[in-house]
Amino acid sequence: MSNTPMAANPLTRAVLEIDEYASGLGWDQPARLFALVDTARLRVQEPGLAAQLGLEDEQATIGLTPIEQDEIPAGKPLDEFLGTIAWPDAVVGCALTVERLMLPPSAEASVPEGLSGKKLTQWVAAHPDRQEVRMTVGVLRDGTRDSALRLREKDASTEVLTGGGLVPGLAEALSATFAD
């Protein structure tokens, strides 16, 4: 993807590529899961797939190629779905992009007591300081993590925040898909 900012780390590049892809689809999208495979290995072991993905002429010898997986079941909670995943050895990592509503830390003190589940979600959705955010989190088998956050109100590739510790809970859940 030509508009993806260059980053030194292959995982960061993959996460930003997925963020750009999701951005092109617009907002209000379902969560999307991606397998991350070693690009050089993919070109050697699966030349037909590499050609289909437009990778046969790639000059880079290192890097990760995101491959979108089947749609995540709509009625199943994300954590339950992730608990059912087992990756083949050829998959060196995985990534997930998901949209959520977030509140600034200053709003935590105003959360009414006893709210949970659906009622808490409704309260957050109605809060005047809520922010819509798209989170793209990637993890590798070796434990490396990275993520990209994009606010809907600042929907530009120059406004994407990246970092390994931005969404630790989701990174942990994705890492668990590689547990033996």
Decide: residue 116, CB within 10 A, 0-12 exposed, 13-18 middle, 19+ buried. Answer: exposed
Structure tokens at 180: 């033996």
Per-residue pLDDT of the chain (180 residues; tens, 9 = 90+): 444 555 568 999 999 999 999 999 999 999 999 999 988 887 777 777 777 776 666 555 568 989 999 888 888 888 889 989 989 998 999 999 999 888 777 777 777 787 777 777 787 777 877 888 999 999 999 999 999 999 998 888 888 999 999 999 999 999 999 987
Cβ neighbours for 134, distance < 8 A, ≥ 6 positions apart: 19, 22, 23, 27, 97, 98, 99, 149, 150, 152
Handedness of CA 27, 73, 116, 173 (dihedral sign): negative
Phi, psi for residue 70 in degrees, rounded to 5: -55, 155
User: Whose CA is closest to 136, among 6, 12, 39?
Assistant: 12
Residues 66-100: b if buried by 16+ CB within 10 A, e if exposed: beeeeeeeeeeeeeebbeebeeeeebbbbbbbbbe
* pTM score of the predicted model: 0.83
Alpha-carbon distance of 18 to 28, in angstroms, equals 16
CA–CA gap between residue 179 and residue 170 (Å, rounded)? 15
pLDDT tens digits, one per residue of 103-134: 777 777 777 787 777 777 787 777 877 888 99
One-letter amino acid of 54: G
